[in-house]
Homo-oligomer: A and B are copies of this chain.
């Protein structure tokens, strides 16, 4: 039972044999799906087939459009880095007078709404041993560091501390610490400490994403 074009199972006869949409749009759709899948399972455990299912298209088409799984991941990584930098720059541009640190932190956590962005970053960092991906991952890390140093104006210690908190956040998300929020006081404590005002958002998103294991189409609107 793979992804069926216009077969039964559906509540009537409506699903066209996959809409024919412009490749640019399709690209973005696939990237979005791939980000969720790579973020959740990691590069190696993510399959092009799961990405395809999440995007609602066939596996060969995913490969066709991006050339290879590795290439797809590289584009996903690029996109994720872009979102992060963009998000930080938006904070810097905002004429708010409260301290930047916390504002950047909140902006970072807000990115969890964009499913998989943060996790893909961490997944990429885990691939340092890979010739191609590793290099790009290091570049990405350093690009963020430079932004903190040069554009935000943090000193080396503050930049390190900021990144450290970011890595902790990534880790808590990756290990799904929210699963233990309700049953373990320590889990609760560290989550509150790490996310503070953004904890509700994190818990909401975790609830939303759980069950909807990135893989098959996210229950599209039209039923």
Q: Which residues of A contact B (CB under 8 A)?
A: 40-45, 122-129, 134, 137-138, 141-142, 145-146, 149, 156-157, 159-161, 163-165, 167-168, 170-171, 173-177, 179-180, 184, 186-187, 189-190, 192-194, 213
Within the complex, the shortest CB–CB distance from A216 to chain B, in Å, comes to 15
Q: A164-B165, A167-B168, A170-B167 are in contact. Are A128 and B186 (CB under 8 A)?
A: no
**Chain A to chain B contacts (Cβ below 8 Å), 22 pairs:** A42-B43, A43-B44, A122-B126, A122-B171, A123-B126, A124-B175, A125-B171, A125-B174, A126-B174, A128-B174, A134-B179, A138-B175, A138-B187, A142-B187, A145-B190, A146-B186, A149-B186, A157-B193, A159-B193, A160-B193, A161-B164, A164-B167
Residues in chain B near residue A175, CB distance under 8 A = 124-128, 134, 137-138, 141
Query: Do the beta carbons of A160 and B194 come within 8 Å of each other?
Result: yes
Residues in chain B near residue A128, CB distance under 8 A = 173-177, 179
